[in-house]
Amino acid sequence: EPEVTQTPSHQVTQMGQEVILRCVPISNHLYFYWYRQILGQKVEFLVSFYNNEISEKSEIFDDQFSVERPDGSNFTLKIRSTKLEDSAMYFCASSVGTSADEQFFGPGTRLTVL
Amino acid sequence: DAKTTQPNSMESNEEEPVHLPCNHSTISGTDYIHWYRQLPSQGPEYVIHGLTSNVNNRMASLAIAEDRKSSTLILHRATLRDAAVYYCMGLKTGANNLFFGTGTRLTVIP
């Protein structure tokens, strides 16, 4: 069964450094998402991406964040200058369509900012 | 998106049916009702979704009230693997950002 994959599984970085989290969505999916979950808290929507542009973003997704689909398979989340509060699990998801379709989530990348 | 209300926690015995309720009294006529779950240390996982009619799939059944202000996720025979946090969400037609609440933590007792 097709699945969303994410790399790395765990990323440790120093405050102020840039990180790039990588995701490979399911190949025939058209919509891509990033969510995050701070330890012990709920899953929060960050951004959705369709047709090579951001379709929606939350208040969390500020200028420090960016997303890109650099080729036909990868979908990346970049954090330019990490803060301690960026430490969280970051989940990538993809779907064929919108509200009538299920989102498939990856296993997540645990980001630890020291 | 519709505000949803779920019990914080529920327990079930293994191999018994489980009915997980969700209130979504502010749902509009075109909002889809989605259910996801999150097993320990894993990403969210789609369970089921519907609009007006009851829905069945290999994982569960979704019973939607006639007025659509509430729905119930039914696991027909709970297994230990079903222990997870279950989230009910309303999603507007054409929208794609899932807003997870605090969900219902289901404990399955062997």
Q: Is the pLDDT of residue B1 over 80?
A: no
In this predicted model, what pLDDT tens digit does every residue of B70-101 receive, in sequence order? 999 999 999 999 999 999 998 877 777 888 88
List the single residue in B34, B43, B51 with the smallest CB-CB distance to A91: B43
The arithmetic mean of pLDDT across residues B44-56, rounded, is 93
The predicted structure's pLDDT at residue B2: 63
Mean pLDDT, all residues of chain B: 92
Query: Dihedral (C-alpha) A80, A72, A49, A45: value to the nearest 10 degrees?
Result: -70
Q: Is residue A62 within 8 Å of A54, Cβ to Cβ?
A: no
CB contact under 8 A, A95 and B96: yes
The predicted structure's pLDDT at residue A71: 87
Q: Which residue has the higher pLDDT, A45 or B92?
A: A45
The predicted structure's pLDDT at residue B34: 93
Q: 3-state SS string over A38-80?
A: CCCCCCEEEEEEECCEEEEECCCCCCCEEEECCCCCCEEEEEC
Q: Is the pLDDT of residue A14 over 90?
A: yes
Residues from chain B that touch A100, judged by Cβ atoms under 8 A, are 32, 49, 51, 93
In this predicted model, what pLDDT tens digit does every residue of A26-40 receive, in sequence order? 999 999 999 999 999
List the single residue in A43, A99, A106 with the smallest CB-CB distance to B100: A43
Q: Is the pLDDT of residue A100 over 90?
A: no
